Amino acid sequence: MIVAEQKPLKEIKSLVGEAQRVLIVGCGTCVTVCFAGGEKEAGILGSLLRMSARMEGHEKSIGEVTVQRQCEWEYLDAIGGRIAEADIVLSLGCGVGVQALAERYPDAIVIPGLDTKFMGLPLEQGVWAERCAACGQCILGLTGGICPIARCSKQLLNGPCGGSSKGKCEVNPEIECAWQLIYDKLKAQGRLDLIMEITPPKDWRTGRDGGPRKIVREDLRLVEADKVTA
Amino acid sequence: MSELNGYKSGSNLEKVLRAGHFAVTAELGPPKNADGEVVRKKAGILKGFVDAANITDNQTAIVRMSSIGAGAIAFQSGLEPVMQMTCRDRNRLGMQSDLLGAYALGLRNILCLTGDHQTFGNHPESKNVHDIDSLQLVQMVVGLRDKASLQCGEEIKGLNPRFFVGAAENPFGDPFDWRPYRLGKKAKAGADFIQTQLIYNVPRFREFMKRVVDLGVHKQVYILAGVGPLKTPGAARYMRDQVPGMDVPDEVVARMEAAGKGIEDKKQKAAAFKEEGLKICVELIQQMREIEGIAGVHIMAIEWEEAVPIVAQRAGLLPRPVLNGN
């Protein structure tokens, strides 16, 4: 899932600024699961902003609405009326959600209430960790299901650097050394031969370095290719 | 290749190793400013006492004069440089263009490194690169030399750079069992020589080298053991407790601490610590010479270049061989 964290209230207030009518838009998918921008968080943030405005003597009307999935335009159609009434739309979606709102409603002023952090999983209640960097060319089949691109601080492809110590990364003892994990896993499975060969330089074009990415599946498209050029 | 008479690069370090001498390299840290005089002065201290000196590349992720700039000054001062190059600050384009420039300036040795993470240095908010890793860098530099081709496969028309290619290994990094294989991978990538991380735990290093020898890797690359004089007990403790991947046994720390016992005068105390540090370093070199597969030592006297001639002298490593011509 996409893991995000709410911005500090001070920053959110500064982004809201003088706007009178604020619509907070929560998202019912990833950010609900990571307790950052679901219906509950939208409600709490709404109360905080109302309270804060009252204490500072401002008049603000703050509404909340949560859509099932903010990153798809069709889920945003139903809230068009409420968006039209707002001076500012405070999205509690991930970066994709914020942009989906801004694209679907070009006249609306949309601001982010979250900082989108990474693609990861919950390790335990309240703890999330990064697992995928969306490099566009998955190598997990060669590395025992542990990603050195997302989990090695230096994205190394040929084993650990000299800073790997007692299973930890040199950057921070909280970070596990991805290559220690890979080594342990492959050793246990008797597959160390997978990392004995030299892995050649990665083609980063499939990742962000090739520019913003897009996938076109002609087999799924409902309109002719030349009609839509997004 | 004919003009190099069978040498890969024709560097002094290559010739010394090929001739079977026990090689000596040291480290020259460039200044945190643009003063070439600092490099000239340090080169003057090391010249004649080592076969080549490593010029660090933004070591510990702190901005310093570039290893190529400082290396060129060292070269002009008569000290053969080993240009260090990390994968942290440049992508394959930047690295290759720098390699062409470095060669044109007379540099002939390179040490390929991953690079300390930028969060340790003075620009922790910076972006890192790691387009390629140190092993892939070795392959790239070897390709420039042996295939006369750029990493992309494009042929180099005209003079191609022919470096003597080194890589590093930390025998004390984890996973310990994997390290000899990683060294083997670096040899397979085409590394000509290896310089190791600082060694203070000799028994553990012996264990590592035994496995390296069992794998036959010592016959594929020249392995230079990393040693260095400690300046103070504090430095020893810091390396033991704070530097990831360093192994400084308690006995070494205790020896450094004991050296200053009973000395009140601050200057005398500091001198006693330094003396003990030099002594330990000389002993380490003697132990390294007896380990099968070790072709030389790499003396890392960080910001203490003056210690290198003393250590080399006391360890019986002088005079250094002079290999003129081919």
The answer to whether position B92 is within a domain reads yes
Within a domain: B326? no
pLDDT averaged over chain B?
96
pLDDT the model gives residue B2? 46
**Distance of CA B62 to CAs B26, B41, B118, B195, B294, Å?**
20, 21, 8, 21, 31
Interface of B with A (CB under 8 A): 87-88, 92, 114-117, 119-120, 128, 130-136, 139-140, 151, 168-170, 173-175, 178, 181-182, 185, 188-189, 197, 244-245
pLDDT in tens, A4-16: 999 999 999 999 9
Q: How far apart are CA A64 and CA A80, in angstroms?
A: 13
- Residue range A115-140, pLDDT digits in tens: 999 999 999 999 999 999 999 999 99
The minimum CA-CA distance between B120 and chain A, rounded to whole Å, is 8
Cα(A157)–Cα(B98) distance, integer angstroms: 23
A185 touches chain B (CB under 8 A): no
* CB-based contact, A157 to chain B, within 8 Å: yes
pTM for the structure as a whole = 0.95
What chain A holds in terms of domains, given with CATH numbers, is 2-118 (3.40.50.2300), 134-230 (no CATH)
The predicted model gives B44-52 an average pLDDT of 98
What's the rounded Cα separation, in Å, for the pair A119 and B150?
Answer: 35
CATH number at residue B124: 3.20.20.220
H-run or E-run covering B162: none
CB atoms within 10 A of CB B188: 17
Instruction: Return the pLDDT at B245.
Output: 84
**B132 belongs to a structural domain:** yes
Q: How confident is the model at residue B292 (pLDDT cuts 50, 70, 90)?
A: very high
pLDDT mean over B217-235: 97
Range of the domain at B135: 2-231+291-314
Tell me what the mean pLDDT of segment A152-178 comes to: 95
- Nearest Cα neighbor of B85 from B226, B107, A225, B284 is B107
pLDDT at B325 over 90: no
The kind and range of the H/E element at B232 are: none
Give A105-119 pLDDT, tens digit per residue.
999 999 999 999 999
The answer to whether residue B213 sits within a structural domain is yes
Confidence of residue B1 (pLDDT cuts 50, 70, 90): very low
Confidence category of residue A229, pLDDT binned at 50, 70, 90? low
Closest Cα of chain B to A34: distance in Å? 26
Which token pair is A200?
């050649």
The answer to whether residue B195 sits within a structural domain is yes
**Alpha helices (H) along chain A:** 9-16, 30-33, 39-55, 73-76, 80-85, 95-104, 148-151, 178-188
Supply the DSSP string of B90-119, one letter for each residue: --HHHHHHHHHHHHHTT--EEEEE----GG
Residue A169 with chain B: CB contacts under 8 Å: 244
This complex has an ipTM of: 0.93
Whether the Cβ atoms of residue A143 and residue A182 lie closer than 8 Å to each other: yes
Q: Tell me if B60 is assigned to some domain.
A: yes
CA distance B310 to B301: 11
How many domains would you assign to chain B? 1
* Residue B283 within any structural domain of the chain: no
Top pLDDT among A223 and A151 is at A151
Residue of B nearest to A170 (CA): B244
* Nearest Cα residue in chain B from A167: B174
For the stretch A68-99, pLDDT in tens is: 999 999 999 999 999 999 999 999 999 999 99
Residue B22 falls inside a structural domain: yes
B175·A184 Cβ contact <8 A? yes
